[in-house]
Every structure is written in structure tokens, then in C-alpha cells.
Chains A and B, each alone.
Chain A
Amino acid sequence: MRVLVVEDDTDLNRQLVGALSDAGYAVDSALDGEEGYYLGDTEPYDLIILDIGLPKMDGISILEQWRRSDKKMPVIILTARDRWSDKVQGIDAGADDYLAKPFHMEELLARARAQLRRAAGHAKSEIECGSVRLDTNSARVTCDGEPIKLTSHEFRLLAYLMHHRGRVVSRTELVEHLYDQDFDRDSNTIEVFIGRLRKKIPADIIETVRGLGYRIIAEDDAT
């Protein structure tokens, strides 16, 4: 899952990037409104954390422009202004959730997870594919109840495929969503990680669709 953080306070930006990376997301960050807008407009993010008070371009305008150009990714706005009229204004501009400063990082992570699940169409915090189960809250994967140890890259790959289970996900999409923009995008690494994953979970769960990409079987097909 790839996340963009747009926050002009360098310390808070660093903390957000740190916490989100620790939670297993590929994180990009922007320190001003123009850069944030550009990144959100050109890169396919799964979630954006957007501060409202930004230099160069304010958060509400950025959000409205993204929505006008039909960007549908979930956006959580951060704001020091916590009156309901401010919140409603943010939501009406296209935000999916808001968080008033100062906030607890755990709460931000919980809301981020909720938005990612909702965007992928899952209501519950756990996603199941056959015997494999992903707990989005604790970022743990189990197979038949047994915990499976995964590296962060392996986890990101599996989590993305499970969030979009039943759908064919191309290698390009995986690269775009799993790595931040500074990562060396070599699609061969995807194949390497798929290979490693297949050794740790039942191999038939991840299906290779020739020429198109990969697919995790949806629950209904799993039987």
C-alpha cells in the first residue's frame, strides 16, 4: 500500500512517515502544497494524509482539484481547525475522514487502515483468502491459525493482493503501489517476492495470469 503524506511541519512529517513506514506502507512525503498536489496527481496512491494549512497551496484547494480530475483515492485531512464547519468543509471538498491536531498516531493508523479497507471494499478488519488470514489492525498474517513470518516487502505485496483479491493486479500496478517513488523500480523484484511468498503460504493462493499479472483467489473461489 502506497501512502502520501503532505505536511509542512518537518517534524510531524518525519513522524508520520516513520509511523506509516513502520506499519508497512510505502510512504512518500511532500512538504508544501504544490509538491503534494503534483505527487497526488501523478502517482497512484492508495491513501493520502493531507494537512489543510500548507504553504503555496492550501489543502482544501488541492483536494478539490484532485477530485475534479477524478482521483478517487481515500484522503484523510489533518487540521488544527476543529470546528464542525471546518470539518464539513473538508469532507465536502472530498475528504473521507479528518483528524484534528494534536492526534494520537495510533488513531491516525487506525483511520488509515479503515480507509484502505473501505476503499478495497472490506468492512471487517480481517481479510481471509482460503486458509490465509490478514489482520489489518495488527499487520499479522496467519495460515490455518499459525502465524507466518514475512519481511516487510513480502507483507506489503501480500497485503496489497489480498486487499484486491479476486482481481488481476499487474506488475506495474504492484510496483507503483508497493514502493515509494525513490525505489528502484525493477519489476523482476516482484517475481522474486512472489516466489518467496509462495514458499511461506499455500502456493496455489497466488495465481499467475500470464501476460497480465497476479491474482489472489477470492474467498468464494477458494474451496
Chain B
Amino acid sequence: MRLDSIAFRLIVASMAWVFLVLPLAGFLIYALYRTDVQKSFDAQLEKLVTALTIDSMQTVDQVPVAPTNRYEPLFEVTHSGWYWQIAPVDKQQVVTLRSASLATATLPSPFELRYPADPETNMRWRDDTGPDGKPVRIVEVIGRLQHAEEGPRFSIVVAGPSEWLEYSVATFRNRLALALTVAGAALLVLMVLQVRFGLAPLQRVEEALAEIRSGKANRLDGAVPAEIEPMREELNALIQSNEDIIERARTQVGNLAHGLKTPLAVITNEARESPGPLGEKVIEQSKIMTDQVQHYLERARMAARVGVIGRVTPVREVIEPLARALEKINASKGVKIDVTCPTDAAFQGEKQDLEEMLGNLLDNACKWSSGRVTLEVKPSPLMSSTGRKRLKIIVSDDGPGLTKEQRSRIGRRGLRLDETKPGTGLGLSIVIDLAQSYRGNLTLDAAEIGGLKAILDLPAA
């Protein structure tokens, strides 16, 4: 992943979330839990000390009564962590009462240690260690016997094991940390997936752009996210304006080339009328200009086709008008063109290119024939290396034909085997160039009906 990518930014941002927010949240939860546990523990101690105070102080004697242990059975178990102790504060003559769990030990009195009392409950709190050395939480109430409101004060102390409290909180903290770590990891994974999912349309846009560049498509279509919609429109407008510019340039090349043809015709004709070195030079040079014009027209045509893949041209649609036109042109010779073409034969390519190829081949055949031309279209038994279907178009005439040696020379630009018949010598080379641009080819052979047989192999659709 690149450091300047949107995915990277999104993932870094979400990682910041996870690493900052989760620990903070964990700490808060931990603190809340800890306070809560502490409060409920304190509440329990408070309850015990209140109950013990009532038990021990509700007496008619001059000394407190030893309370029962029904509130907490662990008061009976030695060093259980749960203790109580009732001791006189002012007069030392009254004996100190202790829970069985305390044995002979004494709990320190927060009152004597001058701990302040809670103003609401009048209780004093202190964390200390018990007789067995384990941490305990101590709560103390200073009370008097029920019947002697001005009598001696007693310190009623209850202690509970705060070790359990620490343990409980620590366990919670560990579990919380584990849970939050797992959640964080899951969040990170989800973030990555979310980024991928969120950016998937960009991937599609990228693929669509690649298709445009390779010529499989000529505009950005299909659903795109709303955020990219304006960009798509701009892009399509850009492609369109680009196409327009190319089209304009192409039209201008065409216009220029076509515009030159009439003056060239004039110059050539004029030069022919004036014999001599100047006339010859002009004829020679205007021939070069004519070839150049023709060459650039062809280039412009071929360029127009680049990037247009997937066009399908029914062969019959092209053959029929051509055959009709050529029969009419050659009516004085009485040329008849026999066409054999399956209705579903289709060429994978531009209609105009097929027209140029077939037009030139048929024109050639008509020019040389003595009356009969055949055109046969059939699916080729040969498959191309990619397994695509192919098409064979065979044009034969009953003219004089060509020798094997002549056939091998044909197709060179401007080569004319017979200078007496009119022509530019470009016809077959155009056919070959076009066929090759479709990964097809043109082969020449002797025709069964006497003349030349031209076999065009092209991709079928």
C-alpha cells in the first residue's frame, strides 16, 4: 500500500482511533468498576457495623453485650479477614470484646489515630493490615450504650478483607484489557475491509479507464459512486472533446487530400499536353504528390479505426451494393458477379474496411474478367491461435490470371503488372494492409474458372 494513498490515510486515521480511544475507554470503565466495587464493599461493612452497634449497645447493663455472629459467619473463623472489636474509648476498665476470628489481636482504632469522621454517617474509615498481615478495610462507629446517653463512649470496629476487593478489580482489569485488545484487533480488520469496500468503486473506475485506454471502450460508463460522478462526467467530456479534435484533424487531412486531387488532375493533364523535360518533370512530381495524398488518406482511415474493437459487419450487406455497383460499371463488358454468401456471415471489424477490401478485389476481378466473377464467403475451417472463428472470402475471375512468379510479386505498392490497363497499382496493397491490420491475410492462386483467385482470410464475428 502506498503511503500517499487514500486507503493508507483512512487506515492510519482509524488506527489512531483504536489506539487512543480504546485505552482511554478501558481506563474509564476500570475506574468506574473499581469505584462501584469499593462502594458495595463499603456498603456491606457499613451494614455490619450498624448491626453490631445496635446489637451491642441495646442493653441495660453498664457494659456492651457481645453481638451475635449471624451477620457474617466468617467472624467465627480465625484470621478469616472478617473481624469486629468493641472497645471503650474513655475508660480503660471495661474489657474489650473481640470476634473469634481476631483471637487476641487488636484492631487499630481510626478514632484514636485521629481519622476524621464522615460527616453524613459519622463513620471513620481506614485501610490497614489484619492480624495475619493481609490488607483489611476498617470502619469504626463511636457509640454509647442505649440507656446512658451521657455515659462512656465505645469504639465499634468492623474489618473486611480488602484483598478480595483488589483481586476482583484486578481480574476485571485483565479481562477488560483482553476484551478491548480483541475488539481493537477486530476493529482494525474491519477498518481494512471497510476501506477496501469503500474504495472498490475506484478500482472499477481504474479498470474502466484501462479499457478506454486500450480501446475496448470509448467512454466511462456504468454506475459510479456519487462522489466520482462529476469526475466521470468531466472525463467523458474530455474523451469526447479529444475525439472531436481527432475527428476534426482527420476531416481536415481528408479535406486537404481531397482538395489537392483536382489541382493535381489539372497539373497532370496540362503537363501531358506539353511535351518536353518540364512536362515530364511535372508528371513525375505530381505522381509522387498523388501517391503521398493517397498514402495519408489511407493513414487517416486506418487511424480512424484504431481503438474500435467489437464492431460486427454482416458480410452480405457489404457485398450486395458492391456487386450491384460493379456490375453496372462493367455493364459494357456484361460482367456477372455470382455471390455465394451465408446470410449469417459476419466480419469482426469496420464496415468501411470490408468495403474497401472487397471493392478492390471485385474491381480487380471485373477489370480482368471476360464476363464471369464469383465471390464465395464461407466460414474458415482454420481457427486462429486464440480460438476465434474466421471467415474466408474467395474472389475468382475468368480473366487471363497471373503466373506463379507474378503472383509472388503482387501487392507491392504501386506495382502494376499490366501498364496498359488503367489503375493506380494501390488496390491490392490496400487490401493487404487492411487485412493485416485485422490479423488476416490475402493469398493469390489460380482460379478454377480460369483467372485469378484471391483468398481473403479475416476474423469472423
Contacts and interface: CB of A to CB of B under 8 A. Distances in A.
Contact of B329 (A12, A15, A98): A98
B422 interface: yes
B157 to A, nearest CB: 114
A172 B79 CA distance: 152
B356 interface: yes
A58 interface: no
B268 A123 contact: no
Contacts of A203: none
B262 interface: yes
A11 B332 CA distance: 30
Interface in B64-118: none
A87 interface: yes
Find the residue from B268, B272, B325, B331 having the highest chain A CB count within 10 A: B325
A97 B363 CA distance: 12
Given A88-B325, A91-B324, A9 B332 contact: no
A118 B328 CA distance: 11
Contact of A102 (B268, B325, B355, B358): B268
Interface residues of A, number: 31
B328 A96 contact: yes
B324 A102 contact: no
Interface string B321-346: 11011001101111000000000000
Contacts of B322: 84, 88
Contact of A105 (B272, B286, B324, B334): B272
A160 B262 CA distance: 31
B269 interface: yes
Given A84-B356, A101-B262, A91 B268 contact: no
A15 B328 CA distance: 27
Chain B's interface: helix, strand, loop or mixed, by majority? helix
A84 to B, nearest CB: 3
Contact of B258 (A11, A81, A88): A81
A107 interface: yes
Given A104-B422, A105-B269, A114-B332, A12 B258 contact: no
A92 B268 contact: no
A84 B262 CA distance: 19
Interface string A100-123: 111111010010001101100001
A102 B261 contact: yes
Nearest to A91: B325
A83 B328 contact: no
Interface string A69-104: 000000000001101110110011000111011111
A11 B270 CA distance: 9
Contacts of A57: none
17 contacts: A9-B262, A12-B262, A12-B269, A15-B266, A15-B269, A83-B352, A84-B359, A84-B360, A85-B352, A88-B325, A91-B328, A91-B329, A100-B261, A101-B265, A104-B268, A118-B331, A123-B332
